[in-house]
């Protein structure tokens, strides 16, 4: 039978492990740019210059329309090339168009 002390011990260890993972991921994050777009355009961004922000806003207003919220994050791979990851409902053609555009301006 499991007693209350062992349950509390496991709960505390689980909490410590969770905090350690969060701290590690925040310190060692390789994400250098991140932005969120939706049907209205660029909603939020991090890691891009004001010039790139203007170009990205124009791109999402004129060239690519996304029906729902999409989060795009850019990370450097081991060779130093910027790789993009998409979270949200977006088709493969739009992803490729966005990747090509971002590689041209960043």
Q: Which domain holds residue 101?
A: 31-105
Assigned domain for 61 exists: yes
Assigned domain for 91 exists: yes
Res 72: pLDDT = 95
Cα–Cα distance list, 18 to 8, 15, 30, 31, 44 (Å): 15, 5, 20, 20, 27
Q: At 105, is the secondary structure helix, strand, or coil? A: helix
Assigned domain for 11 exists: no
Res 29: pLDDT = 64
Res 26: pLDDT = 72
Closest C-alpha to 54, from 82, 30, 35, 75: 35
Res 94: pLDDT = 92
Assigned domain for 52 exists: yes
Res 1: pLDDT = 54
Residues of the chain with pLDDT under 50: none
Res 78: pLDDT = 81
Res 4: pLDDT = 86
């Amino acid at each position: 039978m499991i007693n209350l002390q062992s349950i509390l011990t496991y709960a505390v260890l689980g909490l410590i492990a969770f905090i350690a993972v969060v701290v590690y991921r925040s310190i060692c994050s390789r994400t250098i740019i991140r932005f969120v777009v939706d049907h209205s355009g660029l909603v939020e961004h991090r890691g891009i210059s004001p010039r790139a922000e203007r170009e990205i806003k124009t791109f999402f207003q004129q060239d690519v329309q996304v029906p729902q919220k999409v989060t795009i994050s850019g990370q450097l791979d081991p060779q130093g090339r910027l790789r993009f990851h998409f979270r949200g409902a977006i088709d493969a053609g739009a992803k490729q168009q966005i990747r090509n555009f971002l590689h041209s301006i960043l």
